Structure 1
């Protein structure tokens, strides 16, 4: 069943192209606390070592922890698995992207937010075609 999901859905795990590239060129670098597996191999268009992740579940870029994010984007050449990486105190833990869910951020005045909208104060003039 998992193979069928990977064949017919690009957002679940890895695609056939990624599976082939990983098999052919991939060198496993490490795994994060969410079960995402990181690879490197081959060269990208800028001549750097190509790096990619195979997500454990749906492909969600915000699920990459800060240390691995830095490695993925070539900010550092040392992978967190090789460096005994410890997040800095200012780095926040992962929170999933809540867009489209009831927990999504809805600022004051949003039509999607419960309650009454604030009244217009007069510092706003509506646009009209002849103004």
Structure 2
């Protein structure tokens, strides 16, 4: 019952009823990533490209899409990672969720969230002051 209410009244928890119906009618399951997100393809976009979408497991956040699936979703490749032996390159970092709004978010020196004073500006820059 809770899942049904979430699908009716929220868009950020998995899929809505409209997405469920569209996926049932038009979607062909392409694969699933290691986080449980499920990828679909079906129909065409207004540009004539195959329509692709993802149904997130849990909270809908675009930063949850891993590297290989990101390339497929954005039409960088026509072969999804589930159909090939996809291996991330050595320079690709492992996936990390978006940390914005959490205690783990990046806070540069001088931001309001970090105690202390902002570092002094160095170099050839002089701040503008009125009357000069």
Q: Same fold (TM over 0.5)?
A: yes
- Are residues 120 and 88 of structure 1, via their aligned partners in 2, closer, same or farther at CA, if it must alter by over 3 Å? closer
Match of 1:6 in 2: 7
The alignment covers a number of residue pairs equal to 130
Alignment partners' CA distance in 1, 2:104 and 2:37: 24
**Conserved 8 A contact 2:32-2:39:** yes
Match of 1:92 in 2: 93
Alignment partners' CA distance in 1, 2:24 and 2:65: 22
Match of 2:20 in 1: 19
Report the TM-score, using the length of structure 2 for normalisation.
0.89
Alignment partners' CA distance in 1, 2:28 and 2:129: 58
Q: Report how far residue 6 of structure 1 moved.
A: 1.5
Match of 1:71 in 2: 72
Flag as ranges the 4+ runs of structure 1 deviating above 2 A: 114-128
Q: Which moved more, 1:111-120 or 1:15-24?
A: 111-120
SS of structure 2 residue aligned to 1:90: coil
Q: Cα RMSD over matched residues?
A: 1.8
Alignment partners' CA distance in 2, 1:127 and 1:101: 36
Q: What residue ranges of structure 1 are gaps of 5+ in the alignment?
A: none
Alignment of 1:96-107 (within 5 A): 96-107=97-108
**Conserved 8 A contact 2:110-2:116:** no
Q: What residue ranges of structure 2 are gaps of 5+ in the alignment?
A: none
Match of 2:38 in 1: 37
